[in-house]
């Protein structure tokens, strides 16, 4: 069995995400305390809410969570959850986890927020991420106004483009993965991506 914890910032309905994560060999629980959220085989940071409010909820356990991810706790950050992996955001005050160096900026496209389906671009000449190799994605669903700007490009595993504004769609550092899109809302292909992440988690004894 794999024990997966969804950290709830108190910002939205997590039903579709919990449903996508659920499986016969997966136990999913939702936790509002950031320190208690580390008691599991993997952590999921969901994608609903504003950075400042989420960072405030994260603050009491920020150092412990960052240390756990640095030590190898598998983590999937979705949309806002991906942005919390970075140092900070132009959207609001508070610190992110700083696991991926960089900052979150406002989307510069003509359409803000960006809501809807958009193509996923792999890295030309680069190695395909293991999750995309296991669960290929073509178009995925987005709902956001802010995007991530890593300090270096080596963490980026896929890109997307909206009205000429190109930004990371998927980042990875070790076992920490962030996606700007919502896999739980990206039809069956997105759910397969979530299950590929779950399959990469070492099973508990």
Pairing of strands 75-78, 42-45: parallel
Residues known to be catalytic: 79, 182, 184
Two tokens, residue 26: 């997966």
Alpha helices in the chain, H assignment, sequence order: 15-21, 51-58, 62-70, 80-83, 130-134, 187-199
Name residue, tokens 């409010």.
53
The answer to whether the Cα torsion of 66, 129, 162, 21 is positive or negative is: negative
Distance CA 67, CA 57 (A): 17
Pairing of strands 114-119, 146-150: unpaired
C-alpha 110/C-alpha 108 separation (Å) is 7
Q: How far is CA 10 from the centre of its chain?
A: 17
């Amino acid at each position: 069995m794999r024990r997966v914890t969804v950290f709830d910032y108190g910002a939205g309905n997590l039903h579709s995400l919990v449903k996508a994560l659920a499986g016969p060999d997966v136990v999913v629980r939702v936790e509002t305390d950031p320190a208690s959220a580390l008691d599991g085989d993997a952590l999921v940071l969901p994608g609903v809410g504003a950075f400042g409010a989420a960072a405030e909820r994260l603050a009491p356990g920020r150092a412990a969570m960052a240390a756990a991810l640095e030590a190898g706790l598998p983590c999937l950050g979705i949309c806002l959850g991906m942005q919390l992996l970075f140092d900070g955001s132009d959207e609001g005050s508070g610190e992110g986890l700083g696991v991926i160096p960089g900052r979150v900026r406002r989307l510069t496209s003509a359409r803000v927020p960006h809501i809807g389906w958009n193509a996923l671009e792999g890295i030309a000449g680069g190695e395909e991420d293991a999750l995309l190799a296991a669960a290929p994605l073509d178009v995925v669903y987005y709902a956001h106004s802010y995007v991530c700007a890593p300090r270096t490009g080596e963490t980026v595993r896929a890109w997307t483009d909206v009205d000429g504004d190109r930004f990371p769609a998927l980042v990875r550092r070790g076992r920490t993965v962030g996606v700007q899109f919502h896999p739980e809302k990206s039809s069956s292909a997105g759910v397969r991506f979530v299950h590929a992440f779950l399959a990469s988690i070492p099973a508990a004894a």
